[in-house]
Amino acid sequence: FQISTKEPLNPIKQDVKKGKLRFVANVFPHKGYIWNYGAIPQTWEDPGHKDENTGCCGDNDPIDVCEIGSKVCSRGEVIKVKVLGTLALIDEGETDWKVIAINVEDPEADSYNDIEDVRRLKPGYLEATVDWFRRYKVPDGKPENQFAFNGDFKGKDFALDVIKGTHEHWKALITKKTDGGGINCTNLTVSDSPFCCSQDCAKATVEAAPPCKAASPIPPEVDKWFYYQKN
């Protein structure tokens, strides 16, 4: 599921590739996602801005978050998290930050304050995260993803600076100081944004959407495992 940035009010919808619903591949030994996968609102990785750390421009999306707590979150759930660090994925030549965080309501949240706490308390988890992101697109016929910093994680302070920077890019986008191309910036809450709309306008947008139909059956290939030799 993705935030549909090109549609009014940016609804969350299942991604479609080549006319088919997209499911994440199971690349052994990983079954689906290994964390709660989400995004930080009011951030934007500007495709016109070359990141000084990675040397690559942004991927035109909000920053992604890997929440490592014990609770499996519901789709679309909004939670407050504690930022612990970040991984700099280079996805097809674009900067795609992956922030590592933990739900502040997790029973073990007090034990996690920086990326080294993850390494200490969840041995092998960070390495598995790098492996997951490196290989998850290979079943689609794409090459392995690359990373800045040789795949090393940066800590909390670095991650917070990245978030602050992408928040500034978002502010420029939402106030029309930066051209967002096909991104739909219609919103309800940013009063100084030229894209701000009324409650009535937003309600009309939602009501104009076609009604939901019965869910398509999940194809059996969703459970297929992929195996290949690591490079």
Q: Which helix (H) or strand (E) holds 36?
A: strand 36-39
Check residue 19 and give its pLDDT.
Answer: 86
Q: How remote is the C-alpha of 22 from its chain's centroid?
A: 15
Residue stretches of the chain with pLDDT short of 50: none
Domains, in order of start, for the chain: 30-180 (3.90.80.10)
Residue 12 near residue 75 (C-beta atoms within 8 A) = yes
Q: For residue 41, give every residue at least 6 positions away whose Cβ sits within 8 Å of its Cβ, in sequence order, or none.
A: 62
Q: What is the mean pLDDT of the chain?
A: 95
Tens digits of per-residue pLDDT, 6-50? 999 999 999 988 888 999 999 999 999 999 999 999 999 999 999
CA distances from 89 to 24, 54, 55, 76, 151 (A): 17, 9, 12, 24, 8
Tens digits of per-residue pLDDT, 198-215? 999 999 999 998 898 898
Check residue 73 and give its pLDDT.
Answer: 96
